[in-house]
């Protein structure tokens, strides 16, 4: 971010003491604590509802969220002389949730369950305005991509070591993807989304370790930009999958995480099924294949070959875990 963006801060009732650069942002210390300045390119309505959501969360007893700082006109968005738009938010000091520490992870998923009670749209009008996730459509799109990319690789003449290795295991993961989608479509999926609409349940959208801060005051959650109207199992799935991928699909840890959430916010039968379908879908494989196809295809970093190898070696442990939660 350009240093001249700092001139935007003149529009805020803040005394800036010092500034320093962060990742894609500018951090600055003020008389009202540390803040963060970011460029914003999304629609105004989205950020306005995000502000409403965060305000509601704070009112429900969760002060540790990165709320917006309003400018002198009481607005969230501030435009500079170059027509660029910015937001200012509270900056929360703390360490990232340790994804290899079971105690951290259990505490984080309990906090998520508590937070979910405070995350909902207040009225029908808000529900209509919110983006709604369509998981079955997303997986249908992924499966079409997987099929198309396989045909592309097979049609190639000289193949790289990565492509040869990928083809050797392609059918196994593609069959998983098709089976997961078919099971999903045969379930009472529409009932779950009717419930989402009627209750107005909202997801954080990116509840992962780097957005979960461990502070002296407790757990803080930041970066609500990817929120959506959806089953809150989505947040649970994202966190559980990432933790288990990093911990070799440890069955005990996985079941402890699900139990910890369920103890605070009980999962319905439909939610339990959705969690299983989400976890059984080969999301990691799709991501590796998608990266390959969209990266030029001529050269793949060794770390992606290593990711694929690690994914394949972890499959047995993953299947054993899934058997413990299958309904």
Is pLDDT of 191 > 80?
A: no
Work out the average pLDDT over 274-290. 94
Work out the average pLDDT over 104-129. 83
**pLDDT tens-digit profile of 56-114?**
999 999 989 999 999 999 999 999 888 889 999 999 999 999 999 999 999 999 999 99
Show the domains of the chain with their CATH numbers. Answer: 3-91 (3.30.200.20), 102-325 (3.90.1200.10)
Q: For the chain, what's the residue count?
A: 327
DSSP secondary structure code for residue 327 in this structure = -
Angstrom CA distances, 294 to 154, 287, 289, 297, 298, stand at 17, 11, 9, 7, 11
User: CB neighbours (10 Å) of residue 179?
Assistant: 14
Burial category of 119 from C-beta neighbours within 10 Å (exposed 0-12, middle 13-18, buried 19 and up): buried
Is the pTM value of this prediction over 0.85? yes
Work out the average pLDDT over 199-214. 92
Is residue 174 within 8 A of residue 146, CB to CB? The reply is: yes
160 — pLDDT class (breaks 50, 70, 90): confident
Is pLDDT of 125 > 70?
A: no
């Amino acid at each position: 971010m350009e240093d001249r963006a700092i001139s935007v801060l003149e529009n805020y009732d803040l005394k800036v003491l010092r500034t320093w650069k962060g990742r894609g942002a500018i951090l600055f210390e003020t008389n009202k604590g540390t803040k963060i300045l970011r460029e914003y390119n999304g629609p105004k309505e989205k950020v306005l509802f995000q502000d409403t959501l965060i305000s509601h969360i704070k009112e429900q007893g969760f002060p540790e969220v990165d709320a917006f700082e309003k400018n002198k006109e009481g607005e969230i968005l501030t435009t500079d002389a170059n027509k660029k738009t910015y937001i200012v938010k509270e900056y929360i000091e703390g360490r990232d949730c340790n994804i290899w520490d079971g105690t951290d992870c259990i505490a984080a998923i309990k906090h998520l369950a508590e937070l979910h009670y405070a995350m909902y749209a207040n009225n029908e009008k808000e529900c209509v305005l919110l983006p709604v996730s369509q998981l079955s459509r997303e997986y249908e799109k992924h499966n079409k991509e997987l099929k198309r990319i396989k045909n592309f690789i097979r049609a190639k003449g000289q193949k790289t070591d990565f492509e040869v290795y990928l083809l050797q295991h392609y059918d196994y993961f593609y069959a998983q993807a098709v089976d997961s989608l078919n099971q999903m479509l045969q379930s009472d999926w529409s009932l779950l989304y009717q419930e989402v609409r009627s209750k107005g349940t909202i997801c954080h959208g990116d509840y992962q370790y780097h957005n979960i801060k461990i502070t002296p005051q407790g757990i803080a959650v930041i970066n609500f930009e990817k929120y959506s109207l959806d089953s809150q199992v989505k947040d649970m799935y994202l966190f559980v999958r990432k933790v288990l991928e990093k911990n070799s699909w440890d069955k005990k840890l996985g079941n402890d995480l699900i139990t910890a959430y369920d103890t605070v916010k009980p999962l319905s039968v439909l939610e339990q099924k959705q969690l299983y379908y989400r976890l059984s879908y080969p999301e990691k494989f799709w991501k590796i294949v998608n990266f390959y196809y969209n990266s030029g295809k001529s050269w793949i970093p060794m770390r992606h070959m290593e990711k694929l190898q690690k994914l394949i070696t972890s499959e047995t442990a993953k299947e054993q875990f899934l058997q413990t939660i299958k309904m």
